[in-house]
Amino acid sequence: AFDVLIVGGGPAGAAAAVYAARKGIRTGIASERFGGQVLDTLGIENFISIKETEGPKFAIALEEHVRSYDVDIMNLQRAKSLVANSGPNNDLIEIHLESGATLKSRSVVISTGARWRNINVPGEAEFKNKGVAYCPHCDGPLFKGKRVAVIGGGNSGVEAAIDLAGLVGHVHLVEFDTVLRADEVLQRKLRSLKNVTIHTNAQTTEIAGDSKVNALIYKNRANDDIHTLELEGVFIQIGLIPNTDWLKGTVELSKHGEIIVDAKGQTSIPGVFAAGDATTVPFKQIIIAAGDGAKAALGAFDHLIRSAVP
Ligand code: FAD
């Protein structure tokens, strides 16, 4: 059995693996796609000490760093369930993989990340990283002085619109529903901004462009009129879905499906820790996920040295 088994190989999992391996304990990392969301990222400019890099390059560096330690790396492995209290002394945690294999460990760090909900309209996939963006903290500065739309009037959409209004020329907030769903205080702040236009009851039908985005097309749901907003960027803010379906009924999850963790990354199950975008940790960023992975690995180590050794 492993001492620490990490499930998920993004920035959180990679940091957890390095921190665990440096304690000289048996460490394994199983992941579907080593690198995680970073693999889909074009430019990264906010990982402190690296002024500018590309996502795939960053992902290779993550893997090389992990490989420089004695870590059992199991790539292309998808976890399908977790079983606690197994083994003769009830002190092992099992991770069942879709391949049929079972991995056993004295502690586990779950770092299976999250994915942005897609709006699935023509142009979304085509213009990804060419004007279509999902993360205002990451890509906001690329649109300095330009015109953008934010799709989604929940808290994350309205927060994004307020954030972007301070950077870009003009923000269109486009909401499908007749009302915004964000907290009242955020809505008040949004309405106070001069360079924001709010479009409600507006169904985005297409993101248009040539080599880059140049318009968002929506239908007014009240009268079916079609409107075209000329702009350079579209931020899609209709939800971030944690990759935690496989944990339902075992580890305690928030109403949004995020793994609930305490200050050391401990979940509701002793010996099971979690880190990064899959958890309730606020703000989903690479540097935060990496720090969080380090913390969860140290949390797991702390748990191991306090557990009775049979
Ligand atoms: P992830 O990166 O999501 O990694 C999750 C890992 O778990 C992957 O290896 C995945 O294959 C694996 N996995 C998932 N389910 C299972 C399963 N059931 N079994 C086994 N393995 C599984 N952040 C920034 O700080 N700066 C940026 O510029 C930036 N730009 C971004 C651009 C884009 C397009 C996107 C999508 C995100 C961007 N982010 C950026 C956000 C950042 O990528 C994430 O916050 C970060 O990757 C989270 O790390 P993580 O390790 O928690 O999860």
Give the single-character DSSP code of 85.
E
Tokens of 132: 């279509």
Output the pTM of the full model.
Answer: 0.94
Q: Can you give the pLDDT at residue 216?
A: 98
**CB 19 within 8 Å of CB 69:** no
Residue range 297-310: average pLDDT? 89
CA distances (Å), 66 to each of 6, 63, 179, 221, in order? 12, 5, 47, 51
174 phi and psi, to 5 degrees?
-115, 115
Segment among 32-36, 138-142, 154-158, 304-308 with least mean pLDDT: 304-308
Residue 252: CB atoms within 10 Å: 11
Phi-psi region of 238 (alpha: psi -120 to 50; beta: other; left: phi over 0): alpha
Q: Which residues' Cβ are closer than 6 Å to ligand 1?
A: 7-13, 30-34, 36-38, 40-41, 44, 46, 77-79, 111-114, 116, 134-135, 138, 243, 246, 276-278, 284-287, 289
Instruction: Show binding-site residues.
Output: 3-18, 147-161, 267-277
Ligand 1 centroid – CA 277 distance (Å): 7
The better pLDDT of the pair 89, 270 is held by 270
Q: Can you give the pLDDT at residue 87?
A: 87
Q: Using 50, 70 and 90 to split pLDDT, how confident is the model at 209?
A: very high
Say yes or no to pLDDT of 213 above 90.
yes
ipTM above 0.90, yes or no: yes
Q: Using 50, 70 and 90 to split pLDDT, how confident is the model at 12?
A: very high
Say yes or no to pLDDT of 127 above 90.
yes
Segment 101-111, tens digit of pLDDT: 999 999 999 99
Segment 135-180, tens digit of pLDDT: 999 999 999 999 999 999 999 999 999 999 999 999 999 999 999 9
Ligand 1 centroid – CA 275 distance (Å): 11
Q: Using 50, 70 and 90 to split pLDDT, how confident is the model at 309?
A: low
Closest ligand 1 atom, CA of 8?
7
